[in-house]
Amino acid sequence: MQPKNLISWKILVITLVLEILPGYAQGHKGHMNETLNEEGEETHASPDDISEIKPEKKEKVGPALKRKSRRHAVFFERFPRSVRGTSSNKKVTFSATENSGKIVVSFMINEKEFRFVYGFVSLKEKELENIQVIPDPDGQGMKTSGDNAILTSLLIELRRDINRLDPLENGLLSSLDLLVNMIQENLPFGKFESNEMSLQGAEEQRGKTQRVKPEGYTDICAQRGSTRTGTFDSDDGRVYKRSVIVGDPASECWGRCGTTCFQRSQSRPRQYTDQCLAHDLCAGHFGGNFGNCKDEFEDAKYGYQFSSNCAFYVVGKWRLTHDWDCNGSTRTATITHYSDHRFMSSSKRGGTWELNGNQIIRVYSSGTRYAGVIADSNMETKGSMRSRSGRETGCFTETYLTTRTD
């Protein structure tokens, strides 16, 4: 038999538990029925501003996760005058050979050949000069999206193993880079032959030839989000002009050196030049990379090869996907960044933003803070957020929609 005082204590504890638990459960349930908006405030989500989307699949992380082994291209020959090989999946064969004073770079894929012929090698710049692109068979050299995906994989493989100090191997890599990132998909390849020279040759023979290598390129990084007029011409001498918004994701980023807004294999994906804008406009007008646009391509490739990355740019509309508690329960909204460092969400809540390199910080007037890292492409952002009190945290991603703010 238990003492009376022990029984009394047990009765008291049970009574307290019965009184406390219902209130706690009700309060907890009430909290779970609420949602957090992008400011970190507890509120019912408005279907007009924030709509549910399917949770993204999360990758498993842990010591058991094994890193995939890197794939490498296979070289059959690797000599000073001849380089031959294939991609690791054997879907592309490549070669770079020197013969009779010319350098021929070739890529065979899906029974098509993409061939680059160069007049000579610039030992000083370690670059191939006098580019000539010839499809084989004629009219069948159109690069498809499937071709580009396979060629992109080869480009990644070659970057790991290529000897950039060797002009022949560096020319192989440069040619593949141009093929993947500068030549648009599903457009006639045409025949392109350049008569340009090296910088030194151009200075010595200026006036002796109709065309020389351009002395540079015009950087238009500061023009992103603004309207700019590009000029291009046809083979019969007619000049065309068109005004477009530079760098707008909604129109495939006019003026960017490379196809569309991003190629994952590009080492400098934020290059914008007048020459690349002219080639974009020309290819869009005539429907081909070369042909009428061969001189525009020739000018554009220097900006692609040598211009620097532009700074990151965030003015315009972004599609926000946020997830308080990072538990897979995601909601979306549209965020507009204005040039005066204000921002406004589609739920009419705003604040200020600041950009430091590739890091963006956005603070709502309520005190909720978003901090994210912009991808090298400038098209996506990933980061975390916390409420003003710091008690609520979450994850977010953003996708660049347009540079327009209206």
**10 Å Cβ neighbour count for 74?**
14
Domain that holds residue 370: 316-402
Of 20-24, 121-125, 186-190, 215-219, give the range with the top mean pLDDT.
Answer: 215-219
Boundary of a domain, candidates 192, 213, 234 = 213
**Do 209 and 221 belong together in one domain?**
no
Residue 39 lies in a domain: no
Express each pLDDT in 49-72 by its tens digit: 333 333 444 444 444 444 556 788
Reported as a pLDDT band with limits 50, 70 and 90, residue 6 is low
The residue assigned the tokens 């992008």 is 38
Give the closest residue to 250 by CA, choosing from 274, 271, 224: 224
Express each pLDDT in 219-254 by its tens digit: 999 999 999 999 999 988 899 999 999 999 999 999
Residue 38 lies in a domain: no
285-302: average pLDDT: 82
Q: Is the pLDDT of residue 344 over 60?
A: yes
Residue 66 lies in a domain: no
Select the more confidently predicted residue: 59 or 212. 59
What's at 391, amino acid-wise? R
Calculate the CA 283 to chain-centre distance: 21
**Do 81 and 178 belong together in one domain?**
yes
Lowest mean pLDDT among 8-12, 133-137, 146-150, 288-292: 133-137
Q: Are strands 42-43 and 35-36 parallel, antiparallel or unpaired?
A: antiparallel
pLDDT at 35: 58
Lowest mean pLDDT among 17-21, 138-142, 280-284, 387-391: 17-21
Any idea what the CATH number is for the domain that residue 363 is in?
Answer: 2.40.128.80
Q: Tell me the sheet residues that pair with 371.
A: 361, 384
Q: Is the pLDDT of residue 396 over 90?
A: yes
User: How many domains is the chain built from?
Assistant: 3
Residue 10 lies in a domain: no
Residue 50 lies in a domain: no
**Do 172 and 201 belong together in one domain?**
yes
User: Do residues 196 and 210 touch, judged by C-beta distance below 8 A?
Assistant: no
Residue 33 lies in a domain: no
Reported as a pLDDT band with limits 50, 70 and 90, residue 186 is confident
**Do 206 and 75 belong together in one domain?**
yes
**Do 234 and 129 belong together in one domain?**
no
- 314 — alpha (psi -120 to 50), left (phi > 0) or beta? alpha
**Burial 118-133, CB ≥16 within 10 A → b, else e:** bbbbbeeebbbbbbbb
**Do 154 and 274 belong together in one domain?**
no
**Do 126 and 150 belong together in one domain?**
yes
pLDDT at 294: 82
Select the more confidently predicted residue: 265 or 248. 248
**Do 206 and 299 belong together in one domain?**
no
Q: Quick one: DSSP state of residue 219? A: B
30-55: average pLDDT: 47
**Do 219 and 155 belong together in one domain?**
no
Select the more confidently predicted residue: 142 or 270. 270
pLDDT at 118: 74
Express each pLDDT in 103-153 by its tens digit: 888 899 988 888 887 765 544 444 444 444 444 344 456 788 889 899 999
Percent of the chain predicted with pLDDT > 90:
43
**Do 148 and 204 belong together in one domain?**
yes
**Do 198 and 231 belong together in one domain?**
no
Q: How far apart are the first and last CA of the chain?
A: 81
Boundary of a domain, candidates 279, 310, 341 = 310
User: Do residues 47 and 374 touch, judged by C-beta distance below 8 A?
Assistant: no
Which helix (H) or strand (E) segment is 212 a member of? Answer: none
Residue 181 lies in a domain: yes
What are the respective helix, strand and coil percentages of the chain, to the nearest 5? 25, 30, 45
Q: 216: Cβ–Cβ under 8 A, 6 or more apart, which residues?
A: 302
Residue 89 lies in a domain: yes
Round to whole Å and give the CA distance between 326 and 323: 5
Boundary of a domain, candidates 213, 247, 276 = 213
Sign (positive/negative) of CA torsion 13, 15, 19, 25? positive
The runs of H, that is alpha helices, within 126-195 are 145-161, 167-181
**Do 193 and 303 belong together in one domain?**
no
pTM of this prediction exceeds 0.95: no
269-296: average pLDDT: 88
